[in-house]
Amino acid sequence: MSLALPFTLIRITHSPIEQIIIHEMVEYTLSDFVKHMTLGVAPEGIASLVKWCDGIVFAHVSLPSTADVVKDQMNGIVHWAWLSYAEMNSFKDILESPQKARIPLIDVSNNDLNKELVRWLKRKRIGR
C-alpha cells in the first residue's frame, strides 16, 4: 500500500529584530552581578538563566506585551525594560554566589543579535 503525501507549500519568513530599545541599563562588577541575579534565591538554589557572549554576561527583562509593544515588535523594534551586565572574560556553565546559589549560563556568541549587542555595550564602556 502506498501513502501519497499531500503537497503543501508553506512560506517561511525570517523577520529579524532591527532595533532594541533599552530603557534602563546597569553595568556591574561580576561579583555584584552575581549578587543582583541571586537576590531572593535560596542558598544552594538556582537563579534564572543568563546569557554570555564575547566576554560579557548579561540579563534583560522585556516590557510587558501591551498593544503598543506588540505593534513595535511586529515592526522589528524590541523594548527591554532593563539590561544588567558585567565583564566575564571566559564562559562558564555556572556562576555561584557566596551562599552557593547558582546561576546557569548559556553561550549565545553564535547569535548575530547578541554579538552586536555586546559590541555596542563595549563601545559604550570605552566612551565613559
| 13 belongs to a structural domain | no
| 111 belongs to a structural domain | yes
Give the pLDDT of residue 8. Answer: 75
| 26 belongs to a structural domain | yes
Burial of 39 (0-12, 13-18, 19+ CB in 10 A): exposed
Give the pLDDT of residue 39. Answer: 95
Give the pLDDT of residue 124. Answer: 85
| 5 belongs to a structural domain | no
CA distance 59 to 81: 11
- pLDDT averaged per 10 residues, the chain (length 128): 70 93 96 96 96 98 96 96 97 96 98 96 77
Q: What is the DSSP string of the chain?
A: --PPPPP-----------EEEES-EEEE-HHHHHHHHHTTPPTT-B---EEEETTEEEEEEEPP--HHHHHHHHTTEEEEEEEEEEE-SS--SEEE-TT--EEEEEE-TT-HHHHHHHHHHHHHHHT-
Q: Which amino acid is at 72?
A: D
Q: How many C-beta neighbours within 10 Å does residue 36 have?
A: 14
Q: What is the pTM of this model?
A: 0.86
| 84 belongs to a structural domain | yes
What's the domain count of the chain? 1
| 3 belongs to a structural domain | no
| 29 belongs to a structural domain | yes
CA distance 7 to 9: 7
Q: Which domain holds residue 70?
A: 19-126
| 113 belongs to a structural domain | yes
